[in-house]
Structure 1
Amino acid sequence: MENDKQLFEKLFRANRDRVFRLCCLYTGDTDQRKDLMQDIFIRVWENLSSYRGEAAMSTWIYRIALNTCLTHVRSLKRGLQTRLMPDGFDVLETEPPAGTEPSIEHLIRCINLLEPSERTIIGLYLEDLPQREIADILGISEANVRVKIHRIKQRLSEIAAEQFPQIRQAAV
């Protein structure tokens, strides 16, 4: 039991930042993020003994996190939550953190306009996960991951052109 607790603490420390960033893709509400994080790591703890070693432990944890976030979004869509998220699941607070680069802020706003599945894929990509690991997390082929990332990048370019035409004009 003590070894499990030590392992869990180590896993939590190693994965909490990535899991938190994933939660940010699905809700802009700080309390909901904390609830999601807690739910995710409770599930990790409860299922630690069922880990089969077929993928890296971080991949397994990320898959639990993804499933928990998707369940959260589905429950919101069904109206099971009393407070609905605004369209776009804006991960930015009312004011971006001081010192935030405008280009980063624009990218986040564009990502928020993607479909949840697209946000997940681009989020994993931006975490610098290898395509093999993204494929394992999503349960799709590496080739499919490459195609989806390419299409999402194109979609982000289109969204950026629509949402921020002043940037395009400034670059010309």
Structure 2
Amino acid sequence: MKNQKEFLELIEQHKGILYKISRMYMDNSEDQNDLIQEIILQLWKSFERFKGNSQFSTWMYRVSLNTALTYFKKENKKTSRYTFLENVDQIDEVDSDEKETQLELFYKAVHELNKVEKALIFLFLEGQSHKEISSNLGISEGNARVKLNRTKEKIQIIIKKYDYEF
């Protein structure tokens, strides 16, 4: 059995993944914390099978996203309608209070996307290539490219629907 200390160190190094995924799939802090706990549990259960053929963070993305998708299905929560942040890059151009407001709106708005679209946007925002996205989601690279483009188009439709602009 792999070392618990090693596991905890790796989780600590990559805890940002946990927070980002939980915020994308759950809209309140209690649900986010529950999802984080579920992800950590699933990571621990499968840690012994992690062979190191990929980076730990890549493996963690895959387990975390699969857990979030399963958890999301189980919860079967209905999402509310929120506005969407038109251009994530613009966040850097505003003061910290406005930045936090925009991030909150972004995470709330992501709830309008379906589970696969959320995963695509998450991986895209993490700077992953189409090849990496396809590997993490278990789909072809071409399919990842098409689905990501369609998701971006859907985001633009959501923005226009709410007439929300920065």
**TM-score where L is the length of structure 1:** 0.75
What letter corresponds to residue 57 of structure 1 in structure 2?
F
Using the TM superposition, give the Cα deviation of residue 57 of structure 1 relative to its aligned residue in structure 2, in angstroms: 1.9
Indicate the residue corresponding to 2:86 in structure 1.
Answer: none
- 1:23 is aligned to 22
Larger radius of gyration: 1
Q: Matches of 1:119 and 1:103 in 2, distance apart? A: 17
CA shift, 1:108, in A, is 4.0
Distance change in 2, residues 1:70/1:127 (3 Å): same
- The equivalent of 2:52 in structure 1 is 53
Distance 2:145 2:160 in 1: 23
| Identity among equivalent pairs (%) | 27
Instruction: Report the Cα offset of residue 55 of structure 1.
Output: 3.1
Which residue in the other structure is 1:62 paired with? Answer: 61
Return the letter of the residue paired with 1:13.
E
Pairwise mapping of residues 21-170 of structure 1 onto structure 2 (< 5 A)?
A: 21-77=20-76, 85-88=77-80, 98-100=97-99, 104=103, 107-164=106-163, 167=165
**In 2, Cα distance between the equivalents of 1:104 and 1:69?**
20
In structure 1, list runs of 5 or more residues that go unmatched: 78-84, 91-96
* Deviation sequence 1:11-37 (CA, Å, 0-9, x none): 112221122111111111211211211
- 1:104–1:43 CA distance, 2 compared to 1 (3 A): closer
Partners of 2:47 and 2:104 in 1: CA distance: 37
Does the 8 Å CA contact 2:120/2:148 hold for their aligned counterparts? Answer: yes
The TM-score, its normalising length taken from structure 2, stands at 0.78
Moved more, 99-108 or 3-12: 99-108
Q: Which segments of 5 or more consecutive residues in structure 2 lack a partner in the other structure? A: 83-95
Say if 1:28 and 1:89, in contact at 8 Å, map to a contact too: no
**Range that drifts further, 32-41 or 102-111:** 102-111
- Give the corresponding residue for 1:80: none
- Structure 1 residues 107 and 41, CA, compared in 2 at 3 Å: closer, same or farther? closer
